[in-house]
Amino acid sequence: MKDSLNIAIAGATGYIGLQLIKILLKHPKVKISYLCATKSIGNSIHLFDKEIVDKKLPKITKLEKVNWKNLNVLFTALPNGEAQKIIKRLPTNVKLIDLSADFRLEDYKKFKQWYGIDHNAKKLIKDSIYAITELSKNKIKKYRIISCPGCYPTSVQIPLVPLIKKKIVSTKNIIIDSKSGYSGAGKNLKNKFKFKNLFNSVSAYGVGSHRHMAEIDQELSKAANKSVHVSFTPHLIPMFRGILSTIYLNLNGNYNAKKIYNFLKKYYKNNFFIKIAKFNQPIGTGEIMNTNNCMISICENRQKNKIIIISAIDNLVKGGSGQAVQNMNIAFKMKETLGLK
């Protein structure tokens, strides 16, 4: 393909990697040159997802076999810590779009605190951008390392950051209750969670200590120009994909739920993937499944000075590979929606 971007995907056989392949196969301006993993070398990616039947796709290879010379983008959907090692041997002509937590935190000491490993590329943090597309699209082009936010933080920050910047809502006592399909935990789900009846019950986890709190606090603190600490509890529910976050907020001044509905509708009116539901309308993940959309509903609380915001995304798309492709489109000055409609 003329003028197409040459792409490599590291971690191609995981849930995010497979979703990324499906999206990029529909993208008119990319060529998938390498699919990398540590196992199943030489096999077809079709082994891991029967829906992927494109015969032109390369066989699975080791990352060490990649010829970086003609490559434009490396997507990394790897365990935390791996992208920090890879970036050191990556030529400067290749953009890194990372779907792990490796460059999400601006303070390497906080990375060690929350992830339990030393940061391997401290000096390169300044060359990275934490990129929820709609909140950072004017800056993405300038950066070599694009760090894609976590799935829960994406669902939370899209409605919250504009409200906090405008001081419309209080930064005190922000309560976030999120529920995710089990694909968010990756393929080694059963090693991570020892709950009984995992696929038939709802389970809270990471209570008071989930790693995504670090990036939520970081970004909300930047929006507020002061320290913000949220209360956040995630839950694993017995479905494959999707996130529903319910956010409880106190209002500032004379704002009410209707004013906030009008504000967010206006704020995001030129953003294709942000959908504002009708006022006071309960929503679910059914409305956004297999899309790059974030659907937001603003609801009244029975107490006048409080509101409830519900935010729904597909954790594998807007919370992962879809947002990564959206960021790539902007970084290379392409139409933001390419491959994603």
What amino acid positions are annotated as catalytic residues? Answer: 151
Amino acid at site 71: L
Residue 238: CA atoms inside 13 Å, Cβ hemisphere, count? 8
Query: Rounded to an integer, what distance in angstroms lies between the CA atom of residue 198 and that of residue 201?
Result: 6
Query: Rounded to an integer, what distance in angstroms lies between the CA atom of residue 254 and that of residue 226?
Result: 22
Please check whether residue 93 is in contact with residue 108, taking contact to mean a CB–CB distance below 8 angstroms.
Answer: no
C-alpha separations of 176 from 152, 213, 284, 303 in Å = 10, 10, 16, 18
Please check whether residue 114 is in contact with residue 206, taking contact to mean a CB–CB distance below 8 angstroms.
Answer: no
